[in-house]
Structure 1
Amino acid sequence: MNAKLEKLENNVVKFEITVESAKFNEAVKKAYKKNSKKYDVPGFRKGKAPLSIIEQYFGAGVFYEDAVNFCCDDTYPAALEENNIKPVDYPEIDIVEIGEGKDLVYTAKVTVVPEVELGEYKGVEVKTVKYPVTEEDIDNELKAMQQKNARIETKEAESVVENTNIAVIDFKGFIDGTPFEGGEGTDYSLEIGSGAFIGNFEEQLIGLKKGDTKDVEVSFPEEYGKEEFNGKKALFNVTIKEIKVKELPALDDEFAKDVSEFDTLEELRNDSKSKFEETNSKKEKDEYEDAVISAVCDNAKVDVPEVMIKSEVDQMVKELESKLSYQGLDLKSYYEFTNSSEEKVREFMGETAEKRVKTRLVLEEIVKKEDIKVTEEELLVKATELAKQYSEKDDEKMAKMLLDAQRNILEHDVANEKVIDLLVNSSKTVE
Structure 2
Amino acid sequence: MQVTETLNEGLKRGYQITITADELESKVNEKLTEAQPEIEMKGFRKGKVPMALLKKKFGTQLLGEAMQEAVDGAVSEQLEQSGDRPAMQPEIKMEGENWKEGDDVVVSMAYEKLPEIEQPDLSTLTLEKMVVKADDEAVEEALSGLAEQAKNFEDRADGEAAESGDQVTMDFVGRVDGEAFEGGSAEDFPLELGSGQFIPGFEEQLVGVKVGDEKVVEVSFPEEYGASHLAGKAAEFTCTIKAIKAPAAPVLDDDFAKQFGSESLDALKDQIRERLEAEYAGAARAVMKRSLLDKLDDLVSFELPPTLVDAEAKQIAHQLWHEDNPDVHGHDHPEIETTDEHTKLAERRVRLGLLLAELGTKNEIQVSDAEMTQAILNQARQYPGKEREFFEFVQKNQQVQQQIRAPLFEDKVVDYIFELATVEDVEADKDALKAAVEKLDEE
**TM interval, short-chain normalised:** 0.5 to 0.7
Secondary structure at 1:163 match in 2: coil
Q: Deviations over 1:360-385 (max 9, x none)?
A: 312123457xx5356xxxx79x6777
Match of 1:163?
164
Return the TM-score normalized by structure 2: 0.58
Q: List alignment gaps of at least 5 residues for structure 2.
A: 37-42, 320-325, 378-401, 433-443
Q: Deviations over 1:120-150 (max 9, x none)?
A: 9765676766656455432332223323443
Distance 1:88 1:11 in 2: 9
Change (3 A) 1:90 1:198: same
Change (3 A) 1:280 1:17: same
Quick check: 1:343 aligned with 2:341?
A: no
The counterpart of 2:355, out of the listed 362, 368, 391, is 362
User: Residue 5 of structure 1 contacts residue 16 of structure 1 at CA under 8 Å; is this kept in 2?
Assistant: yes
Secondary structure at 2:84 match in 1: coil
Counterparts of 1:5-20 in structure 2, within 5 Å, are 5-7=5-7, 12-20=12-20
Identity of aligned residues (%): 22
Give the AA of the match of 2:307: P
Change (3 A) 1:69 1:261: closer
Q: List alignment gaps of at least 5 residues for structure 1.
A: 37-42, 318-337, 392-405
Q: Deviations over 1:374-413 (max 9, x none)?
A: 6xxxx79x6777788899xxxxxxxxxxxxxx9x999997
Q: Deviations over 1:224-279 (max 9, x none)?
A: 898x99x96865636355444443322346645675645555x6445533432333
Match of 1:104?
105
Match of 2:91?
92
Match of 2:217?
215
Return the TM-score normalized by structure 1: 0.60
Quick check: 1:372 aligned with 2:360?
A: no
Secondary structure at 2:65 match in 1: helix
Match of 1:326?
none
User: Residue 120 of structure 1 contacts residue 296 of structure 1 at CA under 8 Å; is this kept in 2?
Assistant: no
Match of 1:421?
419
Counterparts of 1:195-206 in structure 2, within 5 Å, are 195-197=196-198, 199-206=200-207
Quick check: 1:192 aligned with 2:193?
A: yes
User: Residue 166 of structure 1 contacts residue 245 of structure 1 at CA under 8 Å; is this kept in 2?
Assistant: yes
Secondary structure at 1:3 match in 2: strand
User: Residue 292 of structure 1 contacts residue 424 of structure 1 at CA under 8 Å; is this kept in 2?
Assistant: no
Distance 1:179 1:309 in 2: 56
Give the AA of the match of 2:331: E
How many residue pairs get aligned? The number is 373
Change (3 A) 1:150 1:100: closer
User: Residue 88 of structure 1 contacts residue 111 of structure 1 at CA under 8 Å; is this kept in 2?
Assistant: yes
Change (3 A) 1:10 1:427: farther
Change (3 A) 1:153 1:343: same
Match of 1:146?
147
Task: Tell me the CA shift for residue 69 of structure 1.
Answer: 0.9
Distance 1:255 1:262 in 2: 10
Give the AA of the match of 1:278: A
Change (3 A) 1:276 1:367: closer
Counterparts of 1:11-410 in structure 2, within 5 Å, are 12-29=12-29, 64-96=63-95, 102-110=103-111, 112-113=113-114, 133-153=134-154, 160-168=161-169, 184=184, 186=186, 189-197=190-198, 199-210=200-211, 212-217=214-219, 235=235, 237=237, 239-240=239-240, 242=242, 243-252=244-253, 255-256=256-257, 261=262, 263=264, 268-297=268-297, 300=301, 302-303=304-305, 305-306=307-308, 339-343=327-331, 358-367=351-360, 372=363
User: Residue 4 of structure 1 contacts residue 16 of structure 1 at CA under 8 Å; is this kept in 2?
Assistant: yes
Change (3 A) 1:219 1:388: closer
Change (3 A) 1:52 1:388: closer
Secondary structure at 1:82 match in 2: helix
